[in-house]
Amino acid sequence: MIRYKTEEEIELIRQSSLLVGKTLAEVARHMKAGVKTKTLDQIAESFIRDHNAIPGFKGYGGFPATLCISVNEVVVHGIPGDYVIKEGDLVSIDCGVIIDGYYGDSAYSFMIEPVAKEVRLLAQRTKESLYKGIEQATAGNRLGNVGYAVQSYVESFGYSVVRDLVGHGVGRDLHEKPEVPNYGRQGIGLKLQENLVIAIEPMINLGTRQIFQERDGWTIRTADRRPSAHYEHTIVVRKGNAEVLSTFEYIEDVINKSN
Ligand code: MG
Ligand code: MG
């Protein structure tokens, strides 16, 4: 069953989603070569709790941390630990929080300069593909248009779209109906209606789209061990233009000031 949201619910999801953006910005302030991923996780957890919110991922399905930190060939669901971030890394960080029972969900891939040109382009184009998808998430359009927009854009560069993992509805549950694939066909799938809240989250690989799961039961890697990028926004379907509830603004303020 798809749960369309009231405006009151959308406001709560907006608050959660904005706090995710602020949390990722706090993480960005500490993101540099030499930092352990578990340190970033601790910073995020403290920041969220200091804002009277609950880390949405910790304990979700047994996940042990506040952030999913997925470096280079790790696509998603990386567990923070003793890994030390180094120059050239592409560090994807996914975060969810709960405020008053409602989730917000957003992810950003950080480049630890200097990075290889092919990695920079992969990250830039993955972020662009997210906005191509969001452009299609309007009332009356079909869900297949969203996936098609992401897929056709990234495949034009020879990249591949991860198929086994998809975006999702967001609300009282982190993963609600419908599933939001990053591939698809125009005119096919669910007809989008106003007040549907979804997370759109392209996971784009430089090489093959094949992935495998590590023995830890979480970490998803590319089969060919080439890099993967991931960006995610929580949005609400509206007439005309989708409304983006999460934001990269705080994150990119931090990144731009440090450059
Ligand atoms: Mg996420
Ligand atoms: Mg998500």
**Under DSSP, is residue 236 helix (H, G, I), strand (E, B) or coil?**
strand
pLDDT, tens only, 218-238: 999 999 999 999 999 999 999
**248: Cβ–Cβ under 8 A, 6 or more apart, which residues?**
21, 106, 108, 231, 233
Residue 217 has pLDDT above 90, yes or no: yes
pTM across the whole model = 0.98
Q: Is residue 188 part of a domain?
A: yes
Q: Is residue 1 part of a domain?
A: no
With vertex at residue 183, the alpha carbon angle to CA 56 and CA 252, rounded to the nearest 5 degrees, is 50
Q: Is residue 161 part of a domain?
A: yes
Q: Is 165 exposed, middle or buried (0-12, 13-18, 19+ CB in 10 A)?
A: middle
Q: Is residue 206 part of a domain?
A: yes
Q: Is residue 2 part of a domain?
A: no
Smallest-distance ligand from the CA of 92: 1
Contact 222, 207 (CB under 8 A): yes
Number of domains within the chain:
1
pLDDT, tens only, 121-175: 999 999 999 999 999 999 999 999 999 999 999 999 999 999 999 999 999 999 9
Q: Which candidate, 233, 235, 239, 240, places its Cα nearest to that of 24?
A: 233
Q: Residue 67: give the domain boundaries.
A: 7-258
Residue 215 has pLDDT above 80, yes or no: yes
Cα of 207 from ligand 2 centre, angstroms = 22
Smallest-distance ligand from the CA of 70: 1
Q: What is the DSSP letter of 234?
A: E
Domain containing 78 — which CATH number? 3.90.230.10
Smallest-distance ligand from the CA of 231: 1
Pinpoint the alpha helices (H) of the chain: 7-30, 37-50, 117-136, 143-155, 249-258
Cα of 107 from ligand 1 centre, angstroms = 5
Cα of 82 from ligand 2 centre, angstroms = 24
How many residues appear in the chain? 259
R_g of the chain computed on alpha carbons: 17
